Every structure is written in structure tokens, then in C-alpha cells.
């Protein structure tokens, strides 16, 4: 609108000037070096306007000619920069797609085109890592430490490498440095908890965990379980050192941090019972059972009443079972108790209710039935056939399964026996069903920007499996 107005004003001014000059033609005479020019004022004004435009155009043309070489260089640089970034993008895509050769080619191209070592070094490091050239990747990561903008990424790459080599001490030192740079980063805080735990420094691990929880990088639910595991280990260490009072206190704290953590709850109950506090021991086990019925809790419950007559013990187990009536573990516990009390019919009923007739019944039910046949009828043949079924079935017994590598074990340990991840063993009624991919990479490194292709697998592995039969750890 403004431009239209300006144009209108200009046209009006020119037309007015032209009309004014046409009305008053006047005469101009120029005498110069023996030349004489007679003309009108209008013609002179027109000639002056032409002369001004001609000068302007010549000046613009000259300026473009002078600037041409510089513009050519600038355009070339711009084109190289664009191509360099394109190579970088394709390289990153190749890394994500797991194509090491293409990634390396793009890294070399980007390096030749771009004068930005921090960026191209990262791609080169990823390409080398993808190719399995750990030495080259380490060199790139180490070079990245020198630049402030890539120091953190370099540290991360070196930490992943140190963990892969099993050099936890080196990884811990690097993680400390990463924490000083970015204390609010989740994986750094997790790495510190994990590495202190791996070193068995439970006090330090607890301190790191408290910090991680305070910063909100570990969800409260997960944090509670980690805390219970750490307190449990601290309690066991206190007991081993003969500090029984402290052990009892820590066992209680572990139980209260996560009552569903069966190893701590069962141990706490056994310490209370040894102290003559059977009632509190019972309440602790029942609190744990309400969260997660577990064979360890059933065994601890039975131990509390080992001296009672069989029928009284069965009443106890019936009470325990009624706390979680739909859970198979209560039926199995009752089947064992009635079998011990030689109540054959009852034992059979509980085994049936536990699902022994189902096609996917677990071997422990067949083994119990074999014991029953042996005890009731002294029938070796039938007992053996049940044991054979137990050996044949592909359904697994409940076990702990590692969230990170899928390793299965019946005994809980703070570190996975195979991949040494801290507190990743989860109690499962059906281990091996819907298990995570075994990547061998600790979950603390899940979601790593350095390790994009593996992240896709490990990232999902680090999530708690959504599985109906998964019990708490």
C-alpha cells in the first residue's frame, strides 16, 4: 500500500514537472569550446535525467565486475558447506541404519567439505564404532574431549567403551567428569549408581541414588526398589561384620522401602523371628505377600511356624493364601503344606487349582504331584511318569530374569551374574516369555545418542516389560 502511494506521488511529481516545463518552454544556449547548443529547458532536463541514469547503471556494472571474484569464492564456499552438511546428514542416517561403510564415506566427505572438526569427528567416531574399529573410535572420542562443545559426547563414547571392556574403574572416573559437566543428565546419574553398586560400595551407591532421585532422573518406583536392594546389601555386610543391631535396622529399612522385594522381606522376618518377634515377622511377610506372592516368602512363613502341628500350619497358610486369593503362589504353598501334613486329597485339590491340568503347567507342579504319588501310594511308576512330564514340558518354572540380558536364575543377586547390571533381576512366573533382547549392553547406557542403532533395541529393553505375569523383583 505504501509503495503504491509512493509510486503515485512520484508519477504525480513527474507529470506536474513535465506539464510545468511544457507550458514554459524557455530557451537554453550552451557555448563550449567552439560548440553552440540551442535547446529548450525541457529537453535539457530530459537529457540530465538520462545522464544520471546512465551514470548509475555504469557504476552498478563496474561494481559487479569488481566484486565478481569475491562473490564466486563465497558461492563456492556456501555450496561446499551445503554439501558438507548433506554428507553429515546422510552419514548420521547411515549410522542409524547400521551401514558402517556408507557412514565412513560420508564422514570422510563431510570432513573434506566442512571446516567443523567437532561435528565430523562425532560422525567419524560413530562410523568407526559401527565398524568395530574400537581403537579408531577411542581416538576420535578422546579428540572430542578437547572441544568444549563435544567434550560431553566424547566422555559418553569413552564410558560406553570402558563398560564394554569391563573397565568399571575407568568408566567411573569418566562418569564423574561427565557429572561435573552436566549434573542433571539422567544417564550420568544412573551410570554413577550402577558403577558404585558394581564396585560393591553400597554406601556410595546409596548417596548417588539419593541424588538421582532428587534430580528426578530415576522414577520413584524404580528408585524404591534400588534403595531396598542397596539397603539389603548394606544389611548383609553389617551382619557379616557382626553388627547385628545395624543389620536388623537396615533389613527393616529395606523391607519398608519396598515390601514386595522378597529377599529383603524374608530376611527381615527371619531376623525378627530370631529376636523372638514372631508377630512382627508374620506381619512383614504378609505385607510382602500382598504386594508379590513369592516362594521365598512362603518358605519364610513356614519357618516361622515350623514347630506347630501340621493342621495349625495349614491354617496359617490358608490365611496367607487368602491375602492374594487369585495368585498361583498361594495354591502352591498350600499344596506343599498339605502334602507335608499328608492330606492327600487336599494336596491334589490345591495342585488342580494351581493349574496342573493346564497344558502350560510349570514343572514344579509335576514334581509336587510326583512326591504326592510316591508318598501316598508308594507308586514309583506313576511318580516317575510325573517326573518325566516335568522334564519334558517346555513351560519354565518361575525365576528371576535380567531385564538387560534375559539371563535367568532362581536366586536374586544385586548384580546380574551375566551382564553385571545392577538390580535388573525381575521375578517372573514365566521367564523367557516376552523377554528382552540380549544385547549385553547395560541398561544404564540405554538411550545413548552415541549408539543409535543399538539404542533401538536396548531402549525398549530398559523399560519394565509389560507382561501380565511379571511379578515384582
Q: Which residues bind Zn ion (CB under 5 A)?
A: 402, 404-405, 407, 416, 418-419, 421
To Zn ion, the closest distance from the beta carbon of 159 in angstroms equals: 18
When the beta carbons of 286 and 435 are compared against Zn ion, the nearer one is 435
Q: 470 forms bridges with which residues in the sheet?
A: 428
Nearer to Zn ion, 128 or 441 (CB): 441
Closest separation between CB of residue 138 and Zn ion, Å? 25
Residue 247 near residue 239, CB atoms below 8 Å: yes
CB 190 to Zn ion: min, Å? 15
Residue 73 C-beta: closest distance to Zn ion, Å: 57
Burial 61-93 (b: 16+ CB within 10 A, else e): eeeeeeeeeeeeeeeeeeeeeeebeebbebbbe
The least CB distance from residue 132 to Zn ion, in Å, is 22
Burial class (CB in 10 A: 0-12, 13-18, 19+), 180: exposed
- Residue (128 or 405) nearer to Zn ion, CB: 405
CB 261 within 8 A of CB 233: no
CA 105/CA 375 separation, integer angstroms: 72
Joined together, the cell numbers standing for residue 149 give 562443545
User: Can you spell out the DSSP letters for 280-300?
Assistant: HHHHHHHHHHHH---HHHHHH
- Whose cell is 498339605? That residue is 338
Q: How far is the CB of 283 from Zn ion (least distance, A)?
A: 34
Q: Compare residues 117 and 465 and give the one whose CB is closer to Zn ion.
A: 465
| Nearer of residues 229 and 402 to Zn ion, judged by Cβ | 402
Nearer to Zn ion by Cβ, of 289 and 412: the residue is 412
- CA–CA gap between residue 88 and residue 106 (Å, rounded): 6
Q: How far is the CB of 438 from Zn ion (least distance, A)?
A: 8
User: Which residues in 141-279 belong to E strands, given as ranges?
Assistant: none
* Contact in structure between 400 and 445 (CB atoms under 8 Å): no
- Cα–Cα dist 133/111, whole Å: 19
Residue 182 burial (CB count, 10 A): 14
Least spacing, CB of residue 360 vs Zn ion, in Å = 25
Amino acid at each position: 500500500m505504501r509503495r503504491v502511494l509512493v509510486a503515485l506521488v512520484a508519477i504525480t511529481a513527474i507529470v506536474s514537472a513535465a506539464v510545468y516545463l511544457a507550458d514554459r518552454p524557455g530557451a537554453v544556449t550552451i557555448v563550449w569550446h567552439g560548440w553552440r547548443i540551442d535547446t529548450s529547458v525541457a529537453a535539457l532536463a530530459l537529457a540530465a535525467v538520462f545522464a544520471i541514469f546512465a551514470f548509475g547503471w555504469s557504476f552498478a556494472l563496474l561494481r559487479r565486475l569488481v566484486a565478481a571474484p569475491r562473490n564466486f569464492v563465497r558461492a563456492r564456499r556456501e555450496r561446499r558447506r551445503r554439501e558438507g552438511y548433506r554428507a553429515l546428514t546422510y552419514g548420521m542416517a547411515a549410522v542409524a541404519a547400521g551401514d558402517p561403510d556408507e557412514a565412513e564415506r560420508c564422514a570422510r566427505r563431510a570432513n573434506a567439505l566442512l571446516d567443523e572438526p567437532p561435528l565430523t569427528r562425532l560422525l567419524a567416531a560413530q562410523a568407526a564404532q559401527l565398524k568395530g574399529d574400537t581403537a579408531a573410535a577411542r581416538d576420535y572420542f578422546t579428540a572430542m574431549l578437547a572441544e568444549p562443545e563435544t567434550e560431553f559426547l566424547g566422555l559418553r563414547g569413552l564410558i560406553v567403551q570402558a563398560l564394554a571392556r569391563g573397565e568399571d574403574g575407568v568408566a567411573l572416573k569418566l562418569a564423574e567428569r561427565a557429572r561435573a559437566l552436566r549434573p542433571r543428565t539422567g544417564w550420568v546419574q544412573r551410570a554413577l549408581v550402577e558403577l558404585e553398586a558394581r564396585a560393591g560400595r553400597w554406601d556410595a551407591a546409596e548417596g548417588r541414588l539419593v541424588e538421582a532421585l532428587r534430580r528426578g532422573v530415576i522414577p520413584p518406583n524404580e528408585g524404591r526398589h534400588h534403595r531396598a536392594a542397596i539397603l539389603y546389601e548394606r544389611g548383609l555386610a553389617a551382619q557379616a561384620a557382626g553388627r547385628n543391631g545395624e543389620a536388623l535396622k537396615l533389613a527393616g529399612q529395606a523391607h519398608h522401602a519396598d515390601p514386595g522385594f522378597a529377599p529383603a522381606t524374608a530376611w527381615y522376618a527371619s531376623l525378627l523371628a530370631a529376636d523372638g518377634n514372631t508377630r512382627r515377622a508374620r506381619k512383614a511377610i504378609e505385607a510382602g505377600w500382598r504386594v508379590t506372592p513369592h516362594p521365598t516368602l512362603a518358605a519364610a512363613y513356614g519357618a516361622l511356624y515350623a514347630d506347630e502341628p501340621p493342621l495349625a500350619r495349614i491354617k496359617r497358610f490358608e490365611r496367607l493364601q487368602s491375602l492374594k486369593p487369585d495368585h498361583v503362589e498361594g495354591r502352591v504353598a498350600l499344596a506343599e503344606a498339605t502334602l507335608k501334613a499328608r492330606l492327600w486329597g487336599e494336596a491334589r485339590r490345591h495342585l488342580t487349582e494351581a493349574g496342573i491340568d493346564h497344558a502350560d503347567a510349570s514343572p514344579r507342579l509335576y514334581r509336587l504331584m510326583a512326591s504326592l504319588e510316591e508318598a501316598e501310594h508308594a507308586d514309583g511308576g506313576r511318580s516317575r511318569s510325573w517326573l518325566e512330564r516335568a522334564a519334558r514340558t517346555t513351560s519354565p518354572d518361575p525365576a528371576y530374569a535380567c531385564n538387560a540380558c534375559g539371563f535367568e536364575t532362581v536366586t536374586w543377586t544385586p548384580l546380574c551374574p551375566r551382564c553385571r547390571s545392577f538390580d535388573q533381576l525381575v521375578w517372573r512366573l514365566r521367564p523367557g516369555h516376552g523377554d528382552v533382547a540380549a544385547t549385553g549392553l547395560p541398561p544404564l547406557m540405554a538411550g545413548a545418542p552415541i549408539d543409535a542403532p543399538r539404542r533401538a533395541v536396548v531402549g525398549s529393553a530398559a523399560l519394565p516389560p509389560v507382561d501380565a505375569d511379571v511379578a515384582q523383583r
